[in-house]
């Protein structure tokens, strides 16, 4: 345990740097499948690439359940769904009755992702005018303004990197799948490098020469290199210190480890390594070489004061290191030639000797870091350092980030964006946008030949290459968010489409068209959601989309049995045919049930009693169109009240108003006559009807009574079925005969009036 703790002392502060440990994260992956439901990503992912396309391959389902294994046959079909996490495959073949839901790869539906995307959007949105990079070409060029712009954009980049770090930490805490964390870690390494090289030393306040600039630069350099791979690792350090045949300082492994720590700027760990080796005791007592011991003490002192924050002090520090090299070279020592060489190599590394730095580097980025720390710390030499480093240690092409980081150092930012996109579309989109704001991406017009037909047609497309790669990635990501089935991501999506920079002056029209086609897919649930959708419609002047939304809402309300709300929405959606249809349907239902419908809202609308529902709520429900279409029901409602109160004069007046209503569908005349006019006013002993009213009734019957009309016949039959047997027997079976009965009774009424 003690040895292990000592080993830990030689590592960087893990808690602070939090570099990735695949084994540890693997252990965190959920390993307890819950019943048969859990088909984990491990079940599905195949550790291979498709031989034709070189794309990653995954299984449709568990290997044992694959539908086309073991001689099973059929044709494979696949349907992409509106939600990226829900797509379906099925096999059209004998005994193939299973349907296979499939989520698209690399879709993160976690709440942490939503939070991450929101934060990045906020960072990008707050850039405001700084989202666009412009080179002032006329007027007085204000250098300060360029510096200010850089400062704002650099700060945004810093925020993005921080948010990514937090996102990774949150993901680890939630035990998210390892592959995803690995991809994000690679993204972070690329972003760390990007920030180091292009977002640190060029604003109004920070330069290479001043202390703050150097401190920031060195910290970011060490953060990038050391977080990228987490080397040197525990087992390697154990291996170095557990050699028993020799004293550790006599082994080359120890000196390689020490130099590796130095090249990576891990000064505390390097000092701890020296102390753990007990080299001073070895030199003082075993080798009895006070010169070497003194040099080691000087090295420890030098490492303890490496000037991270001052270029001037660095030059002094380097002079001291060179002095030590000279002193040691000119001193006689009492140690073996091999050990003397090792000590000398350490001195040469920290004094900036290029050959030794390159010699002791295991990777190109270690030597790049070493050169920046000990040779000449200048970004101007960055590409030169990279070239030198790559000659000794080529890129490892098995990971994504090394090539991307090399491209960043070479200033080729556009080429890293596809890599970032393959790792995480969110990070890629916002990083591209920030790079665009910084002016790091090539002007698309410079790289595209505008005469090329491939590119000339789509000027107004959101995805036109003419708008640049950043706009392409931003808009792609915006559309991707709409398939996440997460309402919180929609404002980000719409926001991104709205603010993404486009070259074409008419870009608003394509943005408006895009939003109009997307918006209806918003998975609204609450009134607030609907309000939000309507606010977008208002902002972008999309009345047709709003109308469609109201129509969809109307249908949903109808499905839930809320007829009045449905009619309100149909009315707002301009579907006046439906408003009329459902208003008349309520009218019909009310007649057939011989009383007002059991609908509190409807009855509050048509009555003066607003005790149950506040008037302002009713006002918001009732549109002008509804006031007209519900009017017949309102009259019918009042008729029922008058009838129930035996106010026959009023009841008669209201019924005649309905019968003579010019827009009354003719089939409802049958209902009104059979249900109310005949049984209440025309049978023997019924209340009187004024002559004038009788004439109005006769006129209505002449105009609308249609014995040929199927709907009228159906309704007449329905009424007959409803009536008690003793009453229905008194009525003829056919409408044609019934009208004769009615006419006869009306004539009698006229006669009665006359007499």
Partner 1 sequence: MAGMKPFNSGHEDLIHDVVYDFYGRHVATCSSDQHIKVFKLDKETSEWELSDSWKAHDSSIVSVDWASPEYGRIIVSASYDKTVKLWEEDPDQPEGSGRRWTKLCTLNDSKGSLYTVKFAPPHLGLKLACIGNDATLRIYEALEPSDLRSWTLTSEVKVLPVPPANHLQSDFCIAWCPSRFSPEKLVVSTLDQASIYQRGKDGKLYIVAKLNGHKGLIRDISWAPSIGRWYHLIATGCKDGKLRIFRLVEKLSDNSSKDAINDSYDDEDVDMEDIAENKEKSLLGSSVSVELLSEHDDHNAEIWSVSWNLTGTILSSAGDDGKVRLWKSTYSNEFKCMSVITSNS
Instruction: Please say which residue, 218 or 579, places its beta carbon nearer to partner 1.
Output: 579
* Residue 419 lies near partner 1 (rule: CB under 8 A): no
Q: Which of 155, 530, 552, 720 binds partner 1 (CB under 8 A)?
A: 552
Determine the angle formed by the axes of helices 469-481 and 490-499, rounding to 10 degrees.
Answer: 160
Q: Which of 83, 190, 437, 742 binds partner 1 (CB under 8 A)?
A: 83
Residues 99-158 that bind partner 1 (CB under 8 A): 99-105
* Residue 498 lies near partner 1 (rule: CB under 8 A): no
Answer yes or no: are the C-beta atoms of 590 and 658 closer than 8 Å.
no
- Residue 231 buriedness (CB in 10 A; 0-12 / 13-18 / 19+): middle
Q: Which of 332, 380, 446, 454 binds partner 1 (CB under 8 A)?
A: 454
Interacting span for partner 1 (CB under 8 A) from 151-159, 248-256, 285-293, 546-554: 546-554
Q: Which of 4, 24, 66, 126 binds partner 1 (CB under 8 A)?
A: 66
DSSP state for residue 688 in the 8-state scheme: P
**What angle is formed at CA 340 by the lines to CA 321 and CA 349, rounded to 5 degrees?**
35
Instruction: Please say which residue, 16 or 54, places its beta carbon nearer to partner 1.
Output: 54
Residue 307's SS3 state is coil
* Nearest distance, CB of residue 710 and partner 1, angstroms: 13
User: Judging by DSSP bridges, how do beta strands 75-83 and 45-49 pair with one another?
Assistant: unpaired
Instruction: Please say which residue, 354 or 461, places its beta carbon nearer to partner 1.
Output: 461
Q: Which of 17, 58, 392, 720 binds partner 1 (CB under 8 A)?
A: 58
Residue 597's SS3 state is coil
Cα gap 205→213, rounded to integer Å: 8
Cα gap 161→696, rounded to integer Å: 82
Q: Which of 85, 233, 294, 310 binds partner 1 (CB under 8 A)?
A: 85
* Nearest distance, CB of residue 464 and partner 1, angstroms: 9
Q: Which of 90, 236, 648, 661 binds partner 1 (CB under 8 A)?
A: 90
* Residue 456 lies near partner 1 (rule: CB under 8 A): no
Q: Which residue has the tokens 């080179």?
A: 135
Answer yes or no: are the C-beta atoms of 409 and 197 closer than 8 Å.
yes
Cα gap 374→315, rounded to integer Å: 10
* Nearest distance, CB of residue 418 and partner 1, angstroms: 7
Q: Which two tokens stand for residue 545?
A: 């989309």
Q: Which of 97, 143, 246, 646 binds partner 1 (CB under 8 A)?
A: 97
Q: Which two tokens stand for residue 279?
A: 């080299």
* Residue 261 lies near partner 1 (rule: CB under 8 A): no
Residues 569-588 that bind partner 1 (CB under 8 A): 573, 575, 577-578, 580-581
CA neighbours within 13 Å on the CB side: how many for 384? 10
* Nearest distance, CB of residue 60 and partner 1, angstroms: 4
Binding residues for partner 1, how many (CB under 8 A)? 102
* Residue 722 lies near partner 1 (rule: CB under 8 A): no
Interacting span for partner 1 (CB under 8 A) from 317-325, 330-338, 471-479, 718-726: 471-479
Residues 3-42 that bind partner 1 (CB under 8 A): 30, 36-41
Instruction: Please say which residue, 44 or 280, places its beta carbon nearer to partner 1.
Output: 44
Instruction: With CA atoms as reference, report the closest residue to 89 among 40, 47, 44.
Output: 44
Report which secondary-structure segment, H or E, holds 522.
Answer: none
Cα gap 42→261, rounded to integer Å: 36
Q: Which of 3, 4, 13, 78 binds partner 1 (CB under 8 A)?
A: 78
Cα gap 164→418, rounded to integer Å: 18
* Residue 492 lies near partner 1 (rule: CB under 8 A): no
Instruction: Please say which residue, 159 or 514, places its beta carbon nearer to partner 1.
Output: 514
**What angle is formed at CA 713 by the lines to CA 711 and CA 718, rounded to 5 degrees?**
95
Instruction: Please say which residue, 113 or 306, places its beta carbon nearer to partner 1.
Output: 113
Residues 660-719 that bind partner 1 (CB under 8 A): none
Answer yes or no: are the C-beta atoms of 186 and 170 closer than 8 Å.
no
Question: H-type helices in 143-266, by residue range?
Answer: 143-173, 178-198, 211-229, 234-241, 252-263
* Residue 480 lies near partner 1 (rule: CB under 8 A): yes
* Residue 410 lies near partner 1 (rule: CB under 8 A): no
Long-range contacts of 172-178 (CB under 8 A, 24+ apart): 172/25, 172/28, 174/110, 174/112, 175/28, 175/29, 175/30, 176/110, 176/112, 177/29, 177/41, 178/22, 178/25, 178/26, 178/28, 178/29
* Residue 191 lies near partner 1 (rule: CB under 8 A): no
Residue 121's SS3 state is helix
User: Within 10 A of 607 (CB to CB), how many other CB atoms are there?
Assistant: 13
Instruction: Please say which residue, 75 or 600, places its beta carbon nearer to partner 1.
Output: 75
Provide the Cα torsion 517, 518, 520, 524; round to 10°. -170
Q: Which of 110, 233, 476, 562 binds partner 1 (CB under 8 A)?
A: 476
Q: Which of 17, 45, 322, 718 binds partner 1 (CB under 8 A)?
A: 45
What character string, x for contact with partner 1 (CB under 8 A) and - otherwise, covers 155-184? ----------------------x-------
Instruction: Please say which residue, 205 or 457, places its beta carbon nearer to partner 1.
Output: 457
* Residue 483 lies near partner 1 (rule: CB under 8 A): yes
Instruction: Please say which residue, 66 or 134, places its beta carbon nearer to partner 1.
Output: 66
Radius of gyration of the chain (CA): 41
* Residue 243 lies near partner 1 (rule: CB under 8 A): no
* Nearest distance, CB of residue 83 and partner 1, angstroms: 4
Q: Which of 91, 324, 386, 404 binds partner 1 (CB under 8 A)?
A: 91
Residues 505-544 that bind partner 1 (CB under 8 A): 510, 513-514, 516-518, 521, 523
Q: Which of 3, 14, 27, 88 binds partner 1 (CB under 8 A)?
A: 88
* Residue 551 lies near partner 1 (rule: CB under 8 A): yes
Cα gap 653→665, rounded to integer Å: 19
Q: Which of 383, 419, 555, 722 binds partner 1 (CB under 8 A)?
A: 555
Q: What is the length of the chain?
A: 755
Q: Which of 2, 69, 397, 755 binds partner 1 (CB under 8 A)?
A: 69
């Amino acid at each position: 345990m003690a040895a292990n703790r000592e080993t830990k002392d030689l590592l960087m502060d893990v808690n602070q740097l939090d570099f990735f440990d695949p084994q540890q994260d693997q252990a965190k992956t959920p390993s307890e499948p819950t019943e048969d439901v859990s088909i984990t990503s491990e079940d599905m992912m195949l550790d291979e690439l498709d031989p034709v396309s070189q794309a990653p391959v995954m299984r449709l389902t568990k290997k044992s359940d694959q539908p086309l294994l073991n001689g099973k046959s059929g044709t494979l079909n696949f349907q992409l769904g509106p939600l990226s996490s829900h797509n379906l495959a099925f096999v059209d073949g004998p005994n193939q009755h299973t349907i296979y839901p499939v989520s698209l790869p690399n879709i993160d539906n976690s709440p942490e992702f939503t939070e991450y995307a929101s934060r990045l959007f906020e960072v990008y949105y707050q850039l405001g005018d700084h989202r666009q990079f412009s080179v002032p070409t006329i007027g007085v060029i204000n250098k300060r303004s360029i510096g200010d712009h850089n400062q704002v954009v650099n700060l945004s980049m810093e925020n993005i990197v921080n948010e990514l770090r937090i996102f990774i930490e949150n993901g680890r805490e939630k035990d998210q799948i390892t592959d995803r964390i690995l991809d994000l870690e690679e993204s972070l390494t690329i972003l760390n490098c990007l920030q180091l090289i292009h977002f640190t030393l060029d604003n109004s306040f920070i330069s290479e020469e001043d202390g703050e600039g150097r401190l920031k630069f060195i910290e970011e350099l060490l953060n990038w290199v050391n977080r990228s791979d987490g080397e040197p690792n525990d087992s390697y350090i154990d291996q170095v210190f557990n050699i028993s045949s020799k004293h550790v300082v006599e082994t080359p492994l120890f000196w390689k480890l020490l130099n590796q720590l130095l090249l990576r700027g891990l000064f505390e760990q390097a000092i701890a390594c020296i102390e753990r080796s007990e080299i001073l005791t070895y030199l003082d007592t075993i080798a009895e070489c006070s010169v070497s011991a003194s040099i080691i003490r000087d090295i420890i002192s030098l490492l303890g004061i490496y000037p991270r924050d001052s270029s001037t002090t660095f030059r002094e520090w380097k002079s001291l290191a060179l002095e030590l090299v000279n002193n040691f070279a000119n001193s006689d020592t009492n140690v073996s030639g091999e050990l003397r060489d090792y000590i000398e190599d350490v001195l040469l590394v920290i004094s900036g000797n290029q050959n030794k730095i390159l010699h002791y580097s295991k990777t190109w980025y270690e030597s790049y870091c070493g050169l920046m720390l000990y040779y000449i710390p200048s970004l101007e030499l960055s590409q030169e350092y990279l070239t030198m480093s790559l000659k000794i240690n080529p890129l490892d092409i098995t990971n994504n980030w090394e090539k991307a980081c090399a491209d960043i150092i070479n200033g080729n930012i556009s080429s890293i964006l596809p890599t970032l996109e393959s790792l995480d579309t969110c990070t890629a989109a916002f990083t591209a946008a920030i790079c665009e704001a910084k002016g790091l991406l090539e002007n698309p017009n410079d790289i595209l030949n505008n005469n090329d037909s491939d590119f000339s047609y789509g000027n107004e497309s959101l995805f036109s290459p003419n708008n640049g790669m950043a706009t392409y990635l931003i808009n792609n990501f915006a559309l991707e968010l709409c398939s996440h089935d997460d309402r919180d991501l929609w404002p980000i999506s719409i926001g991104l489409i709205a603010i993404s920079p486009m070259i074409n002056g008419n870009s608003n029209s394509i943005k408006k068209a895009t939003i109009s086609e997307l918006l209806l897919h918003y998975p609204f649930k609450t009134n607030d959601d609907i309000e939000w959708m309507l606010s977008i419609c208002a902002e972008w002047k999309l009345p047709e989309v709003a109308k469609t939304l109201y129509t969809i809402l109307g249908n949903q309300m109808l499905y839930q049995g809320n007829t009045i709300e449905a009619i309100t929405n149909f009315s707002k959606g301009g579907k006046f045919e439906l408003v009329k249809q459902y208003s008349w349907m309520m009218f019909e239902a009310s007649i057939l049930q011989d009383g007002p419908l059991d609908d509190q809202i409807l009855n509050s609308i048509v009555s003066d009693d607003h005790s149950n529902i506040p008037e302002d709520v009713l006002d918001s429900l009732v549109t002008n169109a509804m006031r007209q279409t519900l009017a017949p029901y309102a009259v019918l409602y009042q008729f029922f009240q008058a009838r129930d109160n035996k106010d026959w004069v009023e009841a008669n007046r209201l019924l005649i108003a309905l019968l003579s209503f010019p827009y009354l569908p003719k089939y409802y005349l049958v209902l009104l006559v059979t249900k109310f006019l005949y049984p209440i006013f025309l049978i023997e002993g019924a209340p009187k009807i004024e002559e004038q009213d009788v004439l109005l009734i006769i006129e209505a019957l002449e105009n609308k009574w249609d014995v040929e009309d199927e709907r009228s016949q159906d309704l007449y039959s329905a009424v007959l079925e409803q009536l008690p047997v003793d009453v229905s027997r008194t009525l003829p079976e056919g409408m044609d005969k019934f009208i004769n009965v009615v006419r006869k009774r009306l004539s009698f009424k006229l006669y009665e009036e006359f007499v």
